Amino acid sequence: MKFEGTHTYLSAFARFEESLNGRSGAPLHALRRSAIGRFAELGFPGTRDEAWFHTNVAPLVRTPFRTTTLEDAQGAWKSEQVFQDLTATRLVFVNGFYSAERSRAGSLPHGVRACSLAGLKDSEADWVAGNIARHAAYDEHAFVALNTAFLQDGAVIYVPRGTAVETPIHVVFVSTASGAPSISHPRTLVLAEENSQVTIIESYTGDGAYFTNAVTEVIANDSAKVDHYKLELESPEAFHIATMQSRQGAHSDLSTHAISIGGKLVRNEVNALLAGEAGEATVNGFYLTDCEQHIDNHTLIEHAEPNCNSHELYKGILGGRSSGVFRGKIHVHRKAQETDAYQSNQSLLISEGADINTKPQLEIYADQVKCSHGATIGQLDENAVFYLRSRGLSQATAQRILVHAFAVDILNRIKPESVRNYLERIVMDKFDQVRDARNAS
Query: Is there a contact between 320 and 436 (Cβ–Cβ < 8 Å)?
Result: no
Q: How confident is the model at residue 2 (pLDDT cuts 50, 70, 90)?
A: very low
CA distance linking residue 307 with residue 252, whole number of Å: 12
Query: Is there a contact between 380 and 352 (Cβ–Cβ < 8 Å)?
Result: no
Report pLDDT for 1.
32
Report pLDDT for 133.
86
Task: For residue 339, tell me if it sits in a domain.
Answer: no
Task: For residue 169, tell me if it sits in a domain.
Answer: yes
3-state secondary structure of 81: coil
Task: For residue 209, tell me if it sits in a domain.
Answer: yes
- Return the ∠ at Cα 36 (arms to 74 and 207), rounded to 5°: 30
CA distance linking residue 268 with residue 243, whole number of Å: 6
User: Which candidate, 385, 322, 376, 310, places its Cα nearest to that of 346?
Assistant: 376
What's the structural domain count of the chain? 1
Spell out the residues 6+ positions from residue 73 whose beta carbon is closer than 8 angstroms to its own.
Answer: 94, 95, 96, 97, 99
Task: For residue 400, tell me if it sits in a domain.
Answer: no
HSE (side-chain half, CA atoms, 13 Å) at 421: 8
User: Which candidate, 338, 248, 345, places its Cα nearest to that of 302?
Assistant: 248
**How far is Cα of residue 124 from the mean position of the Cα atoms in its chain?**
26
Work out whether strand 155-159 and strand 113-116 pair parallel, antiparallel, or are unpaired: antiparallel
Q: For residue range 30-74, list pLDDT tens digits in order.
A: 889 999 999 999 999 998 899 999 999 999 999 988 887 666 665
**How far is Cα of residue 21 from the mean position of the Cα atoms in its chain?**
32
Q: H/E element holding 359? A: strand 355-364
Report pLDDT for 4.
52
Task: For residue 136, tell me if it sits in a domain.
Answer: yes
Query: Is there a contact between 210 and 183 (Cβ–Cβ < 8 Å)?
Result: yes
Task: For residue 315, tell me if it sits in a domain.
Answer: no
Q: For residue range 190-246, list pLDDT tens digits in order.
A: 999 999 999 999 999 998 899 999 999 999 999 999 999 999 999 999 999 999 999
Q: How confident is the model at residue 127 (pLDDT cuts 50, 70, 90)?
A: confident
Tell me how far CA of residue 110 lies from CA of 90, 105, 160, 226, in angstroms.
17, 14, 9, 18
CA distance linking residue 317 with residue 434, whole number of Å: 10
Report pLDDT for 3.
43
Domain hosting 154: range is: 6-276
Spell out the residues 6+ positions from residue 125 whose beta carbon is closer than 8 angstroms to its own.
Answer: 25, 27
Continuous H helices in 64-141: 70-73, 122-131
Task: For residue 21, tell me if it sits in a domain.
Answer: yes
Least confident range from 17-26, 87-96, 196-205, 269-278: namely 17-26
Task: For residue 401, tell me if it sits in a domain.
Answer: no
CA distance linking residue 64 with residue 265, whole number of Å: 16
E strand residue ranges, 149-193: 155-159, 169-176, 182-184, 187-192
